[in-house]
């Protein structure tokens, strides 16, 4: 069985790492370069770097910051925010990113996933999906969770895989920042539907939530932010706990 991945997420705004609850009430969480270096040393399997204001502010992710972070780590690194075309991706990969994530732009123009997968390979493309549970269905949202769409989580995730995405990163907006656990039932359903890896995001608060997301939720990787940024959960202790509960992790 493949090892389950633990992935700290650095949400970047104005060059700083930030974190909110349910996509609002943003507060500062530290310097992204320092955090990235610390997580790599602690045994994180990958990092995700999301420029959360890039789409709303209609600008590109800062390639210079990507380069600085990449220079300080030795683990795979995914970058997202403001990616609208293959021309936006090349500078990020050249700066040191291993993968890119697309969200709002892919919802607006699904063919973007085809273009990126063809240009850079599916292994480089992560389809990030933010969804909220509304009237008994998971509704996809864009622009940092600000705009609901007509797309539904499971059909859109399936389309992303069909178009060439190599992974799906699903964030439950209802669980984000609450520290009450992941959306394990939705994640398990995604796992059953897709053949590509599913990364869980939104709701991590303690070690057991990661155990639940790997056993009940069937996720391939689990992403978290504030509990790592503020030292509430330490990656080495988390991996030891998971290993003790027979979850395959890289230690």
Phi, psi of 204 (to 5 degrees): -65, 130
d(CA 70, CA 250) in angstroms, rounded, equals: 21
Q: Which two tokens stand for residue 100?
A: 């890119």
Q: Among all residues, which ones are annotated catalytic?
A: 11, 130
Q: What is the DSSP string of 71-129?
A: HT--S-EEEESS--SHHHHHHHHHTT-SEEEE-HHHHH-THHHHHHHHHH-GGGEEEEE
d(CA 112, CA 122) in angstroms, rounded, equals: 12
């Amino acid at each position: 069985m493949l090892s389950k991945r633990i992935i700290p997420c650095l949400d970047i705004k104005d060059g700083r790492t930030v974190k909110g609850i349910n996509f609002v009430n943003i507060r500062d969480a530290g310097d992204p370069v320092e955090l990235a270096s610390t997580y790599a040393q602690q045994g994180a399997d990958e990092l995700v770097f999301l420029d959360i204001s890039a789409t709303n502010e209609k600008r590109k992710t800062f390639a210079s910051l990507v380069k600085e972070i990449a220079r300080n780590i030795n683990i795979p690194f995914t970058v997202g925010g403001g990616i609208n075309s293959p021309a936006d991706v090349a500078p990020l990969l050249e700066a040191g990113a291993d993968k890119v994530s697309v969200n709002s732009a892919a919802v607006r123009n699904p063919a973007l996933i085809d273009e990126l997968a063809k240009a850079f390979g599916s292994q480089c493309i992560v389809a990030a999906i933010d969804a909220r549970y509304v009237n008994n269905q998971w509704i996809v949202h864009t622009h940092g969770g600000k705009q609901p769409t007509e797309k539904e989580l499971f059909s859109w995730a399936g389309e992303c895989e069909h178009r060439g995405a190599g992974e799906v990163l699903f964030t439950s907006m209802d669980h984000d920042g609450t520290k009450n656990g992941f959306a394990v039932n939705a994640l398990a359903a995604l796992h059953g539907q897709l053949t590509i890896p599913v990364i869980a995001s939104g709701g991590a608060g303690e070690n057991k939530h990661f155990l639940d997301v790997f056993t009940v939720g069937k996720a391939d990787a689990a992403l978290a932010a504030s509990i790592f940024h503020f030292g509430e959960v330490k990656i080495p202790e988390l991996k030891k706990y998971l290993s003790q509960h027979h979850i395959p992790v890289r230690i």
